[in-house]
């Protein structure tokens, strides 16, 4: 149970978050650029850290704990594979998002496409993403916090009011301070959350049951420590060994990162990631923010979680994978992280870890509230309802929208069990839309109907593969991607292209490189147009760099000093190379 010092630490953290919101409220109230984009004046380190903090949700360490407990360290490839898409955003899209000078990524639709299809697509995506998807994500994070606090306190009674109080705090400072408050608190909350996780990892490693890294290695089978999955002709995986069929390996490693839409890792950058890039001081800061996000998200953040997850396998070996229906308070493999907090931290440190989880929770919620309200105001209210309002009016309505989203997502706590199935369905049905989100920047022939088709086709392909053909992953995934891609390409060529004046305006505004805009290259001096080969080289170098950094930390932690040092040297050299190339 929490002691007085723990409660004081948690209360201090909540008061600090409110104080930051009040401090930035006047600045955020100037206009919608200040409220939603922090005046387009964020330095790269602040914008990039805010991206990382948002993806560090309250349930993220629990998800990693479950992966490691069932599939070993290699189970993390289920999200490590997304690095390629993240780095693609750095070099191919970050500067373009900043040049577009728009408020939301949905607004992009009407500067790139034309006519009623573009207006429909903009309004539909604003509501679908800003309300439906956004509130489900926040509701999911709320439920994760309920589960965390339930296992810390050991009872369910009284937990819900605490979560609602946390939501009220984050809703209040988000409503007051907009993007400024979200970004600054994200930065502080990320430091608190990471510090707390590192402290927990050290504490459990030095517990008598573990006995340090050497004890951890001795008490677990060697395959658990493998960094790479095994390939198998079948699809059966033993506990602690991540085993993939060849088809599943291809799907995860080579296709998923560019073909599928998933919140926070949209191909081409989108959502709150695009919002942070558009908030950067300039194009260079936008690109550096995306690069820092890729490094911190994949190479810096995971290892404290992985260490605690491995320790939980020793400390709580009999935890089931899932709880029976109706037994929400029952501990499972993913809650091993929370049990380690509860059982191995003294008073004061436990309060710090609870504050760390609240920090992770609040950074995610604050960003999603600001991001969702930006869609509702900029792409629905201002676009279709009231076009001639004052800045003060739009900021007032923005604050109302933020409060409304907070209320809806809080109510979803009561019914999230019925929504979770729909959430998984939506994620799987995102396969196939990614290529359009990438090519719309680099190929003039893409139109609004291409993107509309790419959004609808995966749902149809999913139904066919699941209920008619009765295929499972990865066969169903390949079918959805291939079918959706073929359909939107056909629709692209049988429908009219975007109006020439709109394409010219977009090309001059964003200045995309490459052969996909060949009919418009004459509009710019030759010195302003480039090939994409340099971008591809930067992309490959940075992928190798981040993976080298990721695995060097792991090897050094597990005392493989030679391999760890070699990988670290490789990462440093490649970092120097990419820094030189960016300066050039």
Question: Read out DSSP for 99-138?
Answer: HH--SSTTTHHHHHS-HHHHHHHHHHHHHIIIIIIHHHHH
Residue 420 has pLDDT above 50, yes or no: no
**What confidence tier does 504 reach under pLDDT thresholds 50, 70, 90?**
very high
- Output the pLDDT for position 323: 61
- The model's pTM: 0.87
Per-position DSSP letters for 190-252, written without gaps between them = HHHHHHHHHHHHHHHHTSTTT-HHHHHHHHS-GGGG-SSPEEESS----TT--EEEHHHHHII
Rounded Cα gap, residues 483 and 198, in angstroms: 45
Rounded Cα gap, residues 333 and 75, in angstroms: 14
Residue 332 has pLDDT above 60, yes or no: yes
Asked which of 140-144, 414-418, 473-477, 487-491 is least confident by mean pLDDT, the reply is: 414-418
Average pLDDT, the chain: 83
Residue 410 has pLDDT above 90, yes or no: no
- Output the pLDDT for position 236: 44
pLDDT tens by residue, 191-241: 888 888 898 899 999 888 888 899 999 999 888 898 888 877 654 444 456
Residue 327 has pLDDT above 60, yes or no: no
Residue 498 has pLDDT above 90, yes or no: yes
Residue 328 has pLDDT above 60, yes or no: no
Rounded Cα gap, residues 370 and 24, in angstroms: 14
Average pLDDT over residues 288-313: 92
Q: Give yes or no for a cis peptide into 474 (omega within 30° of 0).
A: yes
**What confidence tier does 418 reach under pLDDT thresholds 50, 70, 90?**
very low
Residue 143 has pLDDT above 80, yes or no: no
Element at 387 (helix H, strand E):
none
- Output the pLDDT for position 165: 67
- Output the pLDDT for position 330: 64
**What confidence tier does 157 reach under pLDDT thresholds 50, 70, 90?**
very low
**What confidence tier does 45 reach under pLDDT thresholds 50, 70, 90?**
very high
Rounded Cα gap, residues 299 and 524, in angstroms: 39
Q: Which neighbouring-strand residues pair with 231?
A: 244
Residue 161 has pLDDT above 80, yes or no: no
Rounded Cα gap, residues 63 and 484, in angstroms: 30
Q: Hey, what are 435's tokens?
A: 């290529």
Q: How far is CA 558 from CA 20, 201, 306, in A?
A: 40, 13, 12
Task: Output 378 or 153, whichever has higher pLDDT.
Answer: 378
Report the length, in residues, of the chain.
584
- Output the pLDDT for position 237: 44
In the DSSP assignment, the letter for residue 38 is G
Residue 329 has pLDDT above 60, yes or no: no
Percent pLDDT > 70 in the chain is 88
Based on the number of CB atoms within 10 Å of its own CB, is 234 exposed (0-12), middle (13-18) or buried (19 or more)? exposed
Residue 487 has pLDDT above 90, yes or no: yes
Contacts (Cβ under 8 Å, ≥6 apart) of 223: 72, 240, 241
Task: Output 302 or 160, whichever has higher pLDDT.
Answer: 302
Average pLDDT over residues 298-313: 92
Question: In terms of Cα–Cα distance, which of 264, 265, 260 is closest to 367?
Answer: 264
- Output the pLDDT for position 309: 92
User: Best-predicted range by mean pLDDT among 253-262, 359-368, 421-430, 491-500?
Assistant: 491-500
Element at 403 (helix H, strand E):
helix 391-411
Residue 126 has pLDDT above 50, yes or no: yes
Contact 408, 369 (CB under 8 A): no
Average pLDDT over residues 31-44: 81
Element at 573 (helix H, strand E):
helix 561-583
CATH fold, domain 4-25+42-226+270-427, is Sodium/glucose cotransporter (1.20.1730)
DSSP H helical ranges for 134-158: 134-153
- Output the pLDDT for position 413: 64
What is the number of helices (H) and of strands (E) in the chain?
27, 2
Residue 159 has pLDDT above 80, yes or no: no
- Output the pLDDT for position 2: 62
Rounded Cα gap, residues 408 and 214, in angstroms: 48
Average pLDDT over residues 510-519: 90
Residue 230 phi, psi dihedral angles, 5° rounding: -90, 145
SS3 call for 264: coil
- Output the pLDDT for position 339: 86
Question: In terms of Cα–Cα distance, which of 164, 250, 237, 291 is closest to 477?
Answer: 250
Residue 245 phi, psi dihedral angles, 5° rounding: -70, 165
Contact 466, 417 (CB under 8 A): no
Average pLDDT over residues 440-448: 94
Average pLDDT over residues 434-449: 93
Average pLDDT over residues 3-12: 77
Average pLDDT over residues 71-77: 88
- Output the pLDDT for position 15: 80
Instruction: Express the helix, strand and coil content of the chain in percent, nearest 5 each.
Output: 75, 0, 20
Rounded Cα gap, residues 469 and 480, in angstroms: 12
Angle between helices 271-278 and 44-55 (to 10 degrees): 170
- Output the pLDDT for position 318: 80
Task: Output 408 or 499, whichever has higher pLDDT.
Answer: 499
| Cα atoms in the 13 Å half-sphere on the side-chain side of 465 | 23
List own/partner pairs for 454-457 with CB under 8 A and 24 or more apart: 454/484, 454/485, 454/488, 457/432, 457/483, 457/484, 457/487, 457/488
Contact 361, 58 (CB under 8 A): yes
- Output the pLDDT for position 390: 82
Contact 341, 350 (CB under 8 A): yes
Based on the number of CB atoms within 10 Å of its own CB, is 449 exposed (0-12), middle (13-18) or buried (19 or more)? buried
Task: Output 242 or 448, whichever has higher pLDDT.
Answer: 448
Residue 102 has pLDDT above 60, yes or no: yes
Q: Hey, what are 382's tokens?
A: 């201002």
- Output the pLDDT for position 514: 87
- Output the pLDDT for position 130: 83
Task: Output 96 or 157, whichever has higher pLDDT.
Answer: 96
Percent pLDDT > 90 in the chain is 30
- Output the pLDDT for position 451: 92
Rounded Cα gap, residues 572 and 563, in angstroms: 14
**What confidence tier does 544 reach under pLDDT thresholds 50, 70, 90?**
very high
Q: How far is CA 82 from CA 186, 228, 259, 570, in A?
A: 22, 15, 11, 21
- Output the pLDDT for position 550: 96
Contacts (Cβ under 8 Å, ≥6 apart) of 7: 351
**What confidence tier does 503 reach under pLDDT thresholds 50, 70, 90?**
very high
- Output the pLDDT for position 239: 47
- Output the pLDDT for position 421: 47
Residue 116 has pLDDT above 80, yes or no: yes
């Amino acid at each position: 149970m929490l002691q007085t010092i723990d409660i004081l630490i948690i209360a201090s953290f909540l008061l600090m978050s409110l104080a930051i919101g009040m401090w930035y409220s006047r600045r955020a109230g100037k206009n919608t650029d200040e409220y939603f984009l922090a005046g387009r004046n964020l330095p790269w380190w602040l914008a990039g850290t805010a991206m990382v903090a948002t993806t560090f949700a309250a349930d993220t360490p629990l998800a990693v704990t479950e992966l490691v407990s069932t599939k070993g360290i290699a189970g993390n490839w289920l999200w490590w594979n997304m690095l390629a898409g993240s780095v693609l955003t750095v070099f191919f899209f970050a500067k373009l998002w900043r040049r577009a000078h728009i408020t939301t990524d949905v607004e992009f639709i009407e500067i790139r496409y034309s006519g009623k299809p573009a207006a429909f697509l903009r309004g539909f995506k604003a509501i679908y993403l800003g309300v439906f998807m956004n509130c489900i994500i926040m509701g999911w994070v709320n439920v994760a916090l309920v589960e965390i606090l339930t296992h810390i306190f050991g009872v369910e009674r009284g937990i819900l009011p605490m979560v609602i109080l946390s939501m009220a705090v984050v809703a209040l400072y988000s409503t007051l301070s907009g993007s400024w408050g979200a970004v600054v608190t994200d930065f502080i909350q990320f430091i608190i959350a990471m510090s707390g996780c590192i402290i927990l990892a050290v504490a459990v490693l030095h517990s008598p049951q573990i006995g340090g890294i050497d004890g951890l290695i001795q008490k677990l089978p060697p395959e658990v420590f493998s960094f790479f999955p095994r390939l198998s002709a079948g699809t059966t995986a033993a506990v602690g060994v991540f085993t993939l069929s060849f088809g599943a390996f291809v799907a995860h490693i080579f296709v998923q990162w560019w073909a599928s839409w998933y919140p926070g890792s949209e191909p081409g950058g989108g959502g709150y990631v695009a919002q942070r890039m558009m908030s950067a001081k300039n194009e260079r800061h936008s690109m550096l923010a995306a690069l820092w996000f890729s490094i911190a998200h994949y190479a810096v953040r995971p290892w404290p979680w992985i260490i605690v997850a491995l320790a939980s396998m020793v400390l709580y070996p009999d935890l089931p994978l899932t709880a029976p229906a109706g037994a929400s308070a029952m501990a499972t493999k993913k809650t091993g992280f929370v049990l380690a907090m509860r059982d191995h931290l003294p008073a004061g440190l436990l309060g710090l870890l609870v504050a760390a989880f609240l920090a992770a929770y609040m950074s995610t919620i604050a960003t999603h509230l600001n991001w969702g309200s930006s869609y509702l105001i900029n792409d629905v209210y201002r676009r279709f309802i009231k076009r001639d309002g004052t800045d003060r009016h739009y900021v007032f309505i923005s604050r109302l929208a933020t409060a409304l989203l907070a209320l809806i997502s809080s109510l979803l706590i009561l019914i999230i069990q019925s929504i979770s199935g729909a959430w998984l369905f939506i994620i799987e049905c995102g396969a196939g839309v990614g290529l359009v989100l990438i090519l719309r920047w680099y190929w003039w022939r893409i139109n609004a109907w291409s993107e509309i088709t790419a959004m609808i086709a995966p749902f149809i392909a999913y139904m066919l593969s699941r209920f008619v053909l009765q295929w499972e992953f990865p066969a169903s995934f390949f079918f959805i991607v291939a079918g959706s891609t073929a359909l939107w390409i056909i629709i692209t060529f049988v429908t009219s292209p975007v109006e020439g004046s709109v394409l010219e305006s977009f090309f001059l505004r964003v200045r995309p490189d490459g052969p996909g805009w060949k009919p418009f290259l004459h509009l710019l001096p030759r010195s302003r147009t480039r090939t994409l080969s340099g971008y591809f080289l930067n992309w490959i170098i940075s992928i190798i760099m981040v993976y080298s950094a990721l695995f060097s930390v792991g090897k050094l932690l597990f005392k493989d000093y030679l391999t760890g040092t070699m990988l670290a040297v490789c990462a440093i050299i490649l970092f120097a190379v990419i820094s030189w190339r960016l300066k050039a």
